Amino acid sequence: MIQPLPYSLEGKRVWVAGHRGMVGAALLRRLESENCAEILTASRDELDLMRQADVEAWTRAKKPDAVFVAAAKVGGILANDACPADFLYDNLMIEANVIRASFHAGVEKLLFLGSSCIYPRMAPQPITEESLLTGPLEPTNEWYAIAKIAGIKLCQAHRRQHGADFISAMPTNLYGPGDNYDLQSSHVLPALIRKAHEARKRGENSIEIWGTGAPRREFLHVDDCADALVFLMKYYSDDAPVNVGSGADVTIREIAEMIASLAGLNCALRFNKSKPDGTPRKLMSADKLRALGWAPKINLKEGVKAVFEDYVKAASSK
Ligand code: GFB
């Protein structure tokens, strides 16, 4: 049943599926101030989200009122390109199981997380929500994108057929605490933080940047993202997805220079053109979310500085 707005989380049992991930963990921090009755989480040992019967049984037993679907197999450009079967299959299974089980368990409201890569590679910029399914996808991540599009459609289909209050949000490239720093599977921002830190430690005078440095990316701190997701859960109920971004983008060269300067490095950037650039630009329009009344609070430079300092602290204590 579609819930009246605002949908308060106070006194509710809220399931954060994927609470060990960067977004899920940020949601747990953000939900502390919502006076929920209980925040439900399940570790992978307790519940494998790829197993339909287990997810159905767990969800019926726990009876969540609201669900955030933050569980997903995620990774940077190379991981997406190298493991298309895993990115397509795992994400289809996870979202299908969690969304359907939530419906069967009578969940009042569900928010599904997509990604900005669902939009066509050459979508007009800034990309509005209406661009969905208007053109071909970026080949390096079309597998992940197809799975995420299926998740959006599954929410829309449950709204249409059953009147379920299932919505979806499309976050841009995120960064923040709890990120993946593995150089083969990470996104660009954590990769560059690690590379800059290690270059400084070894006294090297250059760092390697994949591709040409020309692609543009929009970055949002994960705490801003979690705040926007809670906002949407409370104040949004409709068929169409909502973009969650900062509204501004930078080139990969610019973000690399910012990180090198945070590390105090006056070093050369070596562009490795054998690695893919991916989408040339994916700046999402922030208009819809702004019109609803939400805006980000964490400035890119300050956010990256804080994450860089945390990384250095953690790396030095190892
Ligand atoms: O963050 P990233 O891996 O993912 O790469 P996408 C962004 C850009 O940074 C690409 C360049 O142009 C990369 O070539 N880059 C430069 C680097 N140096 C590095 C490096 O050391 N590591 C990495 N990883 N990139 C992903 C999608 O796309 O973004 C997913 O594959 C998802 O599906 C996610 O949507 C948000 O922004 O290209």
- Kindly state the tokens that stand for 245: 């971004």
CA–CA separation, 215 vs 251, rounded Å?
6
Q: Give 316's pLDDT tier (boundaries 50, 70, 90).
A: confident
Q: How much is the pLDDT for 8?
A: 98
Catalytic residues: 144
C-beta of residue 256 within 8 angstroms of C-beta of residue 192: yes
80 CA: nearest ligand 1 atom: 31
Structure tokens that stand for 77 in this block: 């450009």
Tokens of 176: 């923040």
- At 215-241, the pLDDT tens digits run 999 999 999 999 999 999 999 999 999
Q: How far is the CA of 96 from the centre of ligand 1 (A)?
A: 26
- The amino acid occupying position 167 is I
Residue with tokens 């050459």: 122
Atom of ligand 1 nearest to the CA of 173: 36
Buried b (16+ CB within 10 A) or exposed e, 170-195: bbbbbbbbebbbeeebbbbbbbbbbb
Query: 91: how many CB neighbours lie within 10 A of its CB?
Result: 23
pLDDT, position 24: 98
Q: Which atom of ligand 1 is nearest to the CA of 279?
A: 38
pLDDT given for residue 27 in this prediction: 98
What is the tens place of the pLDDT at every residue in 18-56? Answer: 999 999 999 999 999 999 999 999 999 999 999 999 999
More confident residue, 287 or 317: 287
Helix/strand/coil for 243 = strand
The CA distances from residue 263 to 8, 108, 211, 313, in Å, are: 43, 47, 22, 13
Predicted TM-score (pTM) of this structure: 0.98
The residue with greater pLDDT, 28 or 318, is 28
Confidence of residue 318 (pLDDT cuts 50, 70, 90): confident
Residue 192 has a pLDDT of 98
Centre of ligand 1 from the C-alpha of residue 137, in Å: 15
Q: Which amino acid is at 218?
A: E
Name the pLDDT band for 153 (thresholds 50, 70, 90): very high
Rounded Cα–Cα distance for residues 102 and 244 (Å): 23
Label residue 317 by pLDDT band (50, 70, 90): confident
Q: Which two three-digit tokens encode residue 89?
A: 């299959």
List pocket residues of ligand 1, CB cut-off 6 Å. 76-77, 80, 115, 117, 140-141, 144, 173, 186-188, 191, 209-211, 215, 217, 252, 275-279
Ligand 1 centroid to Cα of residue 269, in Å, is: 17
Share of the chain above pLDDT 70, in %: 100
Give the pairing type, strands 250-251 and 216-217. Answer: antiparallel
Measured CA to CA, the distance from residue 179 to residue 223 in angstroms comes to 12
Tokens (6 digits) for 23: 């977004």
* The pair of three-digit structure tokens given for residue 156, joined into one six-digit string: 């829309």
* CB burial string 8-46: b at 16+ within 10 A, e below: ebeebbbbbbbbebbbbbbbbebbeebebeebbbbeeee
Per-residue pLDDT tens digits for 78-102: 999 999 999 999 999 999 999 999 9
| Residue 6, pLDDT above cutoff 90 | yes
Name the closest-CA residue to atom 35, ligand 1: 117
Question: What average pLDDT does the structure give for the chain?
Answer: 97
Question: pLDDT digits over 257-274, tens only?
Answer: 999 999 998 889 999 999
Q: Tell me whether residue 161 is exposed, middle or buried, using C-beta atoms within 10 angstroms of its C-beta: 0 to 12, 13 to 18, 19 or more.
A: exposed
Residue 68, φ and ψ in degrees, nearest 5: -105, 120
Quote the pLDDT of residue 106. 98
Contact assessment for residue 307 and residue 179, using Cβ atoms and an 8 Å cutoff: yes
| Residue to mutate, 91, 115, 210, ligand 1, most ligand atoms under 8 Å from C-beta | 210
| Type of residue numbered 184 | Q
Please report, for residues 179, 200, 312, the alpha-carbon distance to residue 316 in angstroms, rounded to integers and kept in the order given. 17, 13, 6
Specify the pLDDT at position 219.
98
Collapse the DSSP code of 93 into the 3-class scheme (helix H, G, I; strand E, B; otherwise coil) and give the result: helix
